[in-house]
Structure formats: C-alpha cells, structure tokens
Amino acid sequence: MVDTPSASRNVPIAGVIGWPIAHSRSPRLHGHWLQRYGITGHYVPLPVMPEHLAEVLRAMPRMGFVGANVTIPHKESVLALADVVTDRAALIGAANTLIFRPDGKIHADNTDGYGFIANIRQHAPDWSPGLGPAAVIGAGGAARAVVASLLESGVPELRITNRTRIRAEQIKAEFGAKVVVYDWAQAGNMLEGAVTVVNATSMGMEGKPPLRVPLDALASGTLATDLVYTPLMTSFLQEAQARGCKIVDGLGMLLHQATPGFERWFGHRPEVDDELRRAVLA
C-alpha cells in the first residue's frame, strides 16, 4: 500500500520540550500508553535551546503536533509565549502542558498539582488534608504547584521553608495568610504537628546533596511524600517510614501529571497502575 499524505495526515504527534531532554521518562510513559491502547500516534523528545523556544513553538502546530509537555528550563518562559494561560498555570507561574488548538493558538496549563494530589489519593486513600498543617520543604517551581494544590485541598495551614528565605516569602505574598514561613534553620521545628510533609526540593536525588532536615518531630501516621523519584526510596522516605509515617514516593506524580495531556492529545483517558510504573522504571 502506498502511504499517501491523506493516509497519514491526522496522526497526532506530541512530545516533551527541554534542554537537555535525554533523561526524560515521558517518552517511555506516553509510548507505553500509545501501545497499550492501540492508538496511532507519536510522542518524541525535543531538545530545544532556550533561544530557539519561541521559534520552535510557533512551528510545531504546522508540523502536525497537537501538544507538548514542557520541562526544565522552559516551564516559566512558555507562559509569555502562550496565547491562552489557565488560571492555575498563571498562579503557579509555570506551565508543563501545552495544547495546540485547531485555531493555531497555544494553550498552556500546569498539571503538576493535579499529579501531586492524584498520587497521594492513589497510594494513601485515607489521607485527610484538613486534619492539620502541611509542611513543604522547598520553594521552587515544583513547590509552588504543591502549595497551590494543598491549599485547594483544604489544608488549614501551610508551613514552608527554603534555603533562600525570600523565595518562601514570595510564595506567602502570592498565596495568602494560610502560608507560614520558617527559617531554614528551623525546618525541623516546622514538622511538629504537621499531618502532611513534602520534600519539594531536589535534595536526596541521585547526584544531588542529601536532605539535611532533622525529622525528629515527625509523628507516626503523618503522610510523608517526596517529589524525587530517583531513587524511589529516598533517605527522607526511609527515615519517615521508620518513624511510622505513611510514605508516598514521587514517581506517581510524574505519571498522574501526564494523564490530562495524553487525554487531550490522543483522545483516551489513560490509567496509572503498576504496569505503567514498571514500564517507566524499566
């Protein structure tokens, strides 16, 4: 059979934009779903230097792309290049999911907070965010998505600490009175009475410095989760588990944040399960 333009014209293409991008697990993740559901489509890694981002984004819809994920270092800069920005992406100050609309406009969203909460709900279904304070370690882009989603989930108080205090203060200024800033030297004290504790830094990741926050104040039954997923069991999660905490690793956030984009691009709501986890970790 001869492959004519009409035969291949409507095959959707998506990808992940970053610099560098070779480390990304997103192609494996979306590729698994495409194969699993028998969908004719493609998802590719796209190494794009910052100075070429605007040019690449404008060309992608004309190349057959229906959308893209966005990762470091482009998550903030794509907001200025998008035609439509969702309220949550604007609040967080970053986008990780782009949809190229039929009218040619670029729609930017942030699904990190959704992925964060969905991961907890899947692995700790009894979690009740309203029962007490949440404590977030870190104040970078990922932390902003976590803060927004925790406040939306109904935490009565959100404690935050960061090595550079001004970044935590900026989050308080933008997210309001429920946010309480702690000095980095007082990070261990911040955990006292918290029912949810989140490491939203890269500390503890392979090749990065360890997280050196004292965990003595962690109470048994506290939910502890780490955004780091290499390794899956960080030293933070290991110690939290030893103290009787319910732990949730960071891989599920990556998996769940991908579902809204996949559904929009390829027309099928995918499932996050153990089979997917194995495929992404393989």
Question: Which pLDDT score, from 0 to 100, does residue 2 have?
Answer: 40
In this structure, are strands 158-161 and 97-100 parallel, antiparallel, or unpaired?
Answer: unpaired
Report how far residue 14's alpha carbon sits from residue 8's, in angstroms, rounded to the nearest whole number. Answer: 15
Instruction: Please write the tens of the pLDDT for every residue from 3-56.
Output: 444 444 589 999 999 999 998 999 999 999 999 999 999 999 999 999 999 999
**86 CB-contact burial (10 Å; exposed 0-12 / middle 13-18 / buried 19+):** middle
**Mean pLDDT of all residues in 201-222:** 95
Question: Which pLDDT score, from 0 to 100, does residue 9 have?
Answer: 59
Active-site choice (75, 105, 172, 178): 75
Active site residue 246: no
Are the CB atoms for 230 and 206 separated by under 8 Å? yes
Q: Which residues contact 28 (CB under 8 A, 6 or more apart)?
A: 279, 280, 282
Cα 11 to chain centroid distance, Å, stands at 27
**64 CB-contact burial (10 Å; exposed 0-12 / middle 13-18 / buried 19+):** middle
65-77 b/e (C-beta count within 10 Å ≥ 16 → b): bbbbbbbeebbee
pLDDT over 90 at 176, yes or no: yes
